[in-house]
Structure 1
Amino acid sequence: MHSLSVLEKLKLYIFSVFILSIANLHCTGTYQNQIEAKNGILDLTSADYDAQNIIKLSGEWKLYWKQFVTPKIISLSPPNSERKFILKHSPSVWNDTQFFDETIGSYGYASYVIEVKLREKTSNLALYIPDIGTSYEMYVNGELLASAGKVGVSENESVAKYKPQIVLLPEGEQFDIVIHVSNYTNLWGGYWYPILFGKAETIIQRKQVQSAMSVAVCIAAMLMACYNLIFYSFRRKDPTPLLFAIHCILILLRTLTTGERLGHLLFDFISWEILNRIEYFSVFCSGPVLYAFLYRFVPNEFWKRYGLYFNLPIYTMCFLTVVAPNYVYASFLNPMLVYIFFTVIPGWMIFLLVGIVKKQKSAWVLLMGYTGLMAANINDILFTFGILDSFYMIPYGQIFLIISHSVLISKRFSNSLNESEDLSRQMKSLVTSTQKIMSSSNYTTATKSDPHYQT
């Protein structure tokens, strides 16, 4: 019976870990067949919100632009009052929303209002609140339960902050939720990611799994960066470990500033503006570093001649992220993503496939890691823009990439070590033969001492 080789077992192991991790995330709670709010009311009287179901607070929210309202004020306001609202399908950014005669831009403040109705009085419920752009206060039944940053009616009064968090709800059968949101720092503003509603244990468990995955990515990226930097310090002729270390550092920075926003929680003394620049810089800069790393293993004449020109727009974005204000570098994000996904990403996919056809060493490992990362990136982009009903997969893609590339570098180091050992044995044999030749008294004895002259 054919037995699996070490590399085949390793591929099977990596694939199994990847699939089981995703399955574990889904086991921490499944989304209820989505019930959307209508006219500002989310009717869950017929919904099953048991221990395994999670409901997104999405649909038609009431949007009060340039107004901070409360349920009491709303109930006391006469029908012809100046407190006007529109029904806005959320989560989505408020940019370009038509609010009566005004087109909403990037900056301002507003109130989002929704009424959640249950079929009976229920306890042990919770909300998971992702980041909201870019500061907010949440009131449930008139009580302030959560906040991030400082909301205000002007730039001087508002402080931006990302703070994903869990809110435990009081016992009840109806929840009047009001979110005050202000944004004066980011190109996009508003309630943009879905708030999750469900049993407290399910929400908490899901949060723990997501946070644990982010922490795992950070630890893996940090360890591999340190290891490869040390490796490079002892052997600077080969820049491959340095490139991989830089890419791991960029993965670390991206993980800290996206998803669970661990960087915003751990380093809350750093301004939102700096952390936001780090987020964008890690996204843009990781591409050229990754392609330089791939080129070391799968060199090709096309990238050698034209790679700089393909990377030039990305280098420009890295520069703008450092020196330009948010509304400049953020406005180029979507065009840059379109450029990347129609040029360099498919280009390197072709280069790696050609490398496999040419039987270049380790091309299949590079293709495996590259495909996993790109699939996760595409999923996250589609999810961010509301095109795909999914979840953030970039931590899984990053772990997948780190593991596959670590295997590749380890294999390369192992091959170098084996070659060094073979060369050492040959040198010892040569030295022994030379000593015998030097001690020989005549030509016949010398030729017998050298195996190369023996017949």
Structure 2
Amino acid sequence: MLKLMGFVSGRLQSYKDVWSKSLSVTLFFITSLIFFPLIYHFSIALQPSKIQASNGLVSIKHSDFSSRNTLALAGEWAFYWQQLLDPEQIKSTKVSPSFVQANGGWQSQSNKQSYQAIGYATYHLDLSLQTNSNNLALQIPAIESAYKVFVNSDLMATGGQVSDIESSARPNYHTTIVKIPDGLTHFSITLQVSNYHSSWGGLWKPIVLGDIHALHTLQRDKVALSMFILGTLLITVVHSLIQYFLRPKDNIPLVFACLCILLFLREFTVEHMSFILSTLTGGFVLITKLNFFSYYAGFPVGLYFFHLCYPKEFHRKFCILMYSICTLFSIFVLVFPTRYFGGSVVIFQLLAVVIMFYIFQRTWLAMKNNRRGAGVMLLGSIIAFGFVFNDILNMNNLISTGRFFSLGVIGFIVCQSFVTNGRFDNYIDKNAALTEKLKERNADLELLSGLLETKVEQRTQQLQKANKELKALANNDPLTKAYNRHGIQQYIMAAFERYRRTQEPFSILILDYDHFKQINDNYGHDVGDLVLMTGADLIKQTMREQDKLARWGGEEFLVLLPGTDLEGALSIGQKLKDKISAKPIGQPLGITVTVTIGVAQIQPAESFDKLFKRADDALYKGKQAGRNQICH
């Protein structure tokens, strides 16, 4: 009887545990769904739209502004190297300016001419507005490393002390918002910059033009995000130190607390938070050194954290080598002047990539070896390092997505906290669990077997579902449901293989919508998306079963035609062109759209790049011939 009661009690407890975990998972996903809009707001929505200046001139329409009423003034600004000119001197000077991009500094590789980081110069941009400049302002970013901003002839803002003599120059980070006088339809922006203290000179990010309230809101939101990150890091530090106090023999919480402190310093020194330290003596140097030190020291501390978590998977000698190299970089930052930091960044970024891949590989091995929490830790490192890669690419102007690492920190902390708390909960409940297992050993073994089978089946199903979803995300365009570039590669390779073995020909069509930008400008991007979706559906209806459709980029699509020569490809292309132009798209607007198609058939010993270029050249020829054409 007692054995039966114990068995029933064990069953009830197991059902309660399953219910508790299911409820926790459900609440976690509900919280995540609430958090996603915040991620979008603080990452994507905060990025202003861009307008490209040309030869120091830009004309701005009201429609150029994004929904946030902000516009980054990118493109070519007039540039006077080794000259500090005020607006009146620019009007009277006979010296022709060069033109540089308004981001990446004046030594950026995107400029036609590269300049040394150390020096001084003047940027100038003439703006023409469609309407009066009522309630407009400029958001001045952190400029390396001292500046003066003029609107027309009026000095509007300064940062540090601008000078053509190094001894009298004084650097300072001073981000600010400058109000533009109301009623202007034409005005100029003149920016005097001197740099003797940084490895990058000039404008690193574009100046942003927009409604003054929108700019203040933008600044407020960025500060709010940083305060949220700082608060999260501070709470995590306190929580980790409490865990270390309770179990001083376990160094993992202490190391994680140190890592969070370094992340706290890095977030504390980002551009929109620099006003806190910029008022101090040597604020520029302090901010720069803290920013670089937290970056260089963060990677070895992070590696040491993983090393402590999974010592059997991480190689001690390799880790010591990485610790030593990163320590040298950290000492370099503390000892040397800030103007020499630039070269070290490029080298350290390569080192950081090596460390990140090593952590991925070792944590993956720990997961395969069934180490406690390794799967969750791998997920957290993927989240954090994914955003690190984004920031590295963004820092080098390879992408323009913005700085997202702060969001990755939250994901990593959540995963790490799950593992750490699980470890400590396990310690606390260990004695009670052992006692319970001794009392009901046979019943527990039977129950454990059933639960393990259930969990394995559930996790297998979840993994299969996740793999299907990941494959769809990786291979398909989310808007048109056609293949993306990655998804169609397997079919292109198969067509090349058949051609190599049997000489079976195949062709490709490059299809591009005519005047698509006008559709977006006149009707909005929602209608533009509808045009792309409807057009893709029409193409799928017209294609043969063996043909494959991929969205190649923007409004450009690629159709792979296996077993089809040039004559057959032209016939299919004509059907596609007629099908799309015959049906008005975007009801009830009734937009008639046309497409231009370039056609090419594979030739002997030809690569896909050459095949694609011939089709693309044919497409260009069709565009030049008046559009709504099919050419080969």
| Same topology, TM > 0.5 | yes
| 2:60 match | 44
| 1:330–1:41 CA distance, 2 compared to 1 (3 A) | same
Q: Distance in 2 between matches of 1:122 and 1:97?
A: 34
Alignment of structure 1 residues 115-134 onto 2, 5 Å: 115-134=126-145
SS in 2 for 1:73: helix
Q: Distance in 2 between matches of 1:386 and 1:37?
A: 18
Asked if structure 2 preserves the Cα contact closer than 8 Å seen for 1:29 and 1:54, the reply is: no
Q: Distance in 2 between matches of 1:388 and 1:293?
A: 30
| 1:148–1:10 CA distance, 2 compared to 1 (3 A) | farther
SS in 1 for 2:130: strand
Deviations 1:151-203 (A, max 9, x none): 11122221111122222222221220011111111111111111112222322
> Is 1:337 aligned to residue 349 of structure 2?
yes
Q: Distance in 2 between matches of 1:139 and 1:355?
A: 58
Asked if structure 1 preserves the Cα contact closer than 8 Å seen for 2:157 and 2:178, the reply is: yes
Asked if structure 2 preserves the Cα contact closer than 8 Å seen for 1:30 and 1:52, the reply is: no
Alignment of structure 1 residues 52-201 onto 2, 5 Å: 52-77=68-93, 81=94, 83-95=95-107, 104-171=115-182, 172-201=184-213
Asked if structure 2 preserves the Cα contact closer than 8 Å seen for 1:28 and 1:202, the reply is: no
| 1:19 match | 36
SS in 2 for 1:42: strand
SS in 1 for 2:237: helix
Task: Give 1:307 shift.
Answer: 1.5
Task: Give 1:361 shift.
Answer: 1.3
| 1:415–1:259 CA distance, 2 compared to 1 (3 A) | farther
| 1:50–1:367 CA distance, 2 compared to 1 (3 A) | closer
Asked if structure 1 preserves the Cα contact closer than 8 Å seen for 2:122 and 2:190, the reply is: yes
| 1:414–1:302 CA distance, 2 compared to 1 (3 A) | closer
Q: Distance in 1 between matches of 2:360 and 2:35?
A: 21
| 2:298 match | 286
Task: Give 1:300 shift.
Answer: 3.0
Asked if structure 1 preserves the Cα contact closer than 8 Å seen for 2:278 and 2:287, the reply is: no
Q: Distance in 1 between matches of 2:317 and 2:198?
A: 38
| 1:326–1:266 CA distance, 2 compared to 1 (3 A) | closer
Q: Distance in 2 between matches of 1:389 and 1:361?
A: 38
Task: Give 1:423 shift.
Answer: 6.3
Asked if structure 2 preserves the Cα contact closer than 8 Å seen for 1:28 and 1:205, the reply is: no
Asked if structure 1 preserves the Cα contact closer than 8 Å seen for 2:100 and 2:111, the reply is: no
Asked if structure 2 preserves the Cα contact closer than 8 Å seen for 1:86 and 1:99, the reply is: no
> Is 1:384 aligned to residue 400 of structure 2?
no
Task: Give 1:302 shift.
Answer: 4.4
Segment drifting more, 2-11 vs 176-185: 2-11
**Number of residue pairs the alignment of both structures matches:** 419
TM-score normalized by the length of structure 2: 0.62
Task: Give 1:304 shift.
Answer: 2.6
Q: Distance in 1 between matches of 2:370 and 2:35?
A: 26
Segment drifting more, 199-208 vs 36-45: 199-208
Segment drifting more, 244-253 vs 369-378: 369-378
Deviations 1:114-144 (A, max 9, x none): 0111112131212222101011111112112
| 1:175–1:372 CA distance, 2 compared to 1 (3 A) | farther
Q: Distance in 2 between matches of 1:330 and 1:26?
A: 26
Q: Distance in 1 between matches of 2:416 and 2:314?
A: 23
Asked if structure 1 preserves the Cα contact closer than 8 Å seen for 2:43 and 2:402, the reply is: no
Asked if structure 1 preserves the Cα contact closer than 8 Å seen for 2:277 and 2:287, the reply is: no
Asked if structure 1 preserves the Cα contact closer than 8 Å seen for 2:74 and 2:102, the reply is: yes
Structure showing greater relative contact order (alpha-carbon pairs closer than 8 Å, 6 or more residues apart): 1
| 1:422–1:241 CA distance, 2 compared to 1 (3 A) | same
Q: Distance in 1 between matches of 2:363 and 2:23?
A: 22
Q: Distance in 1 between matches of 2:415 and 2:34?
A: 12
Deviations 1:34-74 (A, max 9, x none): 43111100111474336534321111111111222222222
Q: Percent identity?
A: 24
Q: What is the letter of the counterpart of residue 41 of structure 2?
A: N
Q: What is the letter of the counterpart of residue 56 of structure 1?
A: A
Alignment of structure 1 residues 281-320 onto 2, 5 Å: 281-320=293-332
Q: Distance in 1 between matches of 2:419 and 2:43?
A: 30
Segment drifting more, 64-73 vs 294-303: 294-303
Deviations 1:312-346 (A, max 9, x none): 321221121122233444311111102321x2211
| 1:145–1:421 CA distance, 2 compared to 1 (3 A) | farther
Asked if structure 2 preserves the Cα contact closer than 8 Å seen for 1:128 and 1:167, the reply is: yes
Q: Distance in 2 between matches of 1:336 and 1:26?
A: 26
Q: Distance in 1 between matches of 2:135 and 2:208?
A: 14
Deviations 1:6-53 (A, max 9, x none): 663465356435532222236755644x43111100111474336534
| 2:428 match | 417
Root-mean-square deviation (CA, aligned residues, Å) is 2.8
Q: Distance in 2 between matches of 1:425 and 1:251?
A: 42
Asked if structure 1 preserves the Cα contact closer than 8 Å seen for 2:310 and 2:366, the reply is: yes
Unaligned residue ranges in structure 2 (runs of 5+): 1-14, 439-632
Segment drifting more, 206-215 vs 18-27: 18-27
Asked if structure 2 preserves the Cα contact closer than 8 Å seen for 1:161 and 1:264, the reply is: no
Task: Give 1:384 shift.
Answer: 1.7
Deviations 1:253-297 (A, max 9, x none): 00011242x244345214122221111110011111111112232
Task: Give 1:238 shift.
Answer: 0.5
Deviations 1:346-386 (A, max 9, x none): 11111122222222211122112211111111111211221
> Is 1:222 aligned to residue 225 of structure 2?
no
Q: What is the letter of the counterpart of residue 356 of structure 1?
A: M
Asked if structure 2 preserves the Cα contact closer than 8 Å seen for 1:109 and 1:183, the reply is: yes
Q: Distance in 1 between matches of 2:30 and 2:382?
A: 17
Task: Give 1:104 shift.
Answer: 2.9
| 1:120–1:146 CA distance, 2 compared to 1 (3 A) | same
| 1:221–1:50 CA distance, 2 compared to 1 (3 A) | closer
Q: Distance in 2 between matches of 1:15 and 1:277?
A: 35
| 1:306–1:249 CA distance, 2 compared to 1 (3 A) | same
Q: What is the letter of the counterpart of residue 383 of structure 1?
A: N
| 1:93–1:317 CA distance, 2 compared to 1 (3 A) | same
| 1:50–1:190 CA distance, 2 compared to 1 (3 A) | closer
SS in 1 for 2:398: coil
Asked if structure 1 preserves the Cα contact closer than 8 Å seen for 2:43 and 2:404, the reply is: no
| 1:231 match | 243
| 1:434 match | none
Q: What is the letter of the counterpart of residue 65 of structure 1?
A: W
Segment drifting more, 179-188 vs 155-164: 155-164
